[in-house]
Structure 1
Amino acid sequence: MSDNYKEWPEKIPFALWGYRTSIRTATRATPYYLVYGMEAVQPVELEVPSLRILLESQVPEADWVQARYDSLVLLNKRRLNALYHVQLYQKRIERAFNKKVKPRGINEGDLVLKSVRALLPVDPRGKFKPNWAGPYLVKKILTGGAVRLTDLDGNDFSNPTNLDQLKKYYP
């Protein structure tokens, strides 16, 4: 939309207008409609009146106010419908994501290695430093993918560890 990088602040209102007036997949409605209860009037419709603009301009003010009130009463229904569509959309995304998830197969009592992600300021081994620490013993598996670990001497870790940071250790 712009020829150089200095023009982008002038283009932001147009980008926001496009975002607010385009239909979202999750809600099946425009953000503008969900906030204001009516579709936005496009700038083109002011130059070349559309059927909607012509019909609204010929309606008496009392009837227009009553129609606007009725549409606002129905807005809560539309917002609940949008919320319902968002929940369905999130379930669809969750199902698609969970198809790719591989179960770890880690049980209580298994030996595991833990990923080393702590960044030391300078490690003299460089790229040859170890990526895994352990082995550790799985003491308890908590809900949500968390695990309580102990080292082989029986000392418990103070914080739980995420299952994503573990892999099974085979002695």
Structure 2
Amino acid sequence: MGIRAAIERKIKVLEVYEDSALVIYQLKGEWETRDPKLVNYRRLVLELIEEFDDITFCYLPRDENQMADALATLASMIKAPAHCCNIEEEEEKDDHPWYQGILRYMKSREYPNQATENDKRTLRRLASDYVLDGEILYKRRKDQVLLRCVDAVEAKQILEEVHEGVCGTHANGHGCYWADLTKGI
């Protein structure tokens, strides 16, 4: 979600997971930060975490970081053209995302037209696993991690960015972490 995004949402207790022991132990102050580029970054993060009542930095070994591995594997399987379209410029929009019924129910407690009683019951059950934050819908995993729901256009853009290496190769274990945090901060 990014530290600034968590602050904007007035979250007071936060757990941060990272698959780079170096980053975690530097943020915890257990290891010295020597890289000049990271010294200022660490200072900024330490200022931002003052906004939280409790914040925990947790090392998550790379082999347990299944989501990043799954995205990297998926991206490597896609053959992207040499040029990629910029979705924002084309102003494409998915008017019927897969989660439209859940989003509508979460916003206004309205059911889709022609929904049977069984459909309504199923929708209520499904909705209990989702969280609505403003206009953004999240799926809550069993471990309470929130996954942002994206439509087909956003999914395409994410896959293209991963394939292009916007986050760098995942081989170094923390390329995407730094890219995500700098966007979130």
Normalising by the smaller structure, the TM-score range is under 0.3
> Whose radius of gyration is greater, 1 or 2?
1
TM-score (norm 2): 0.23
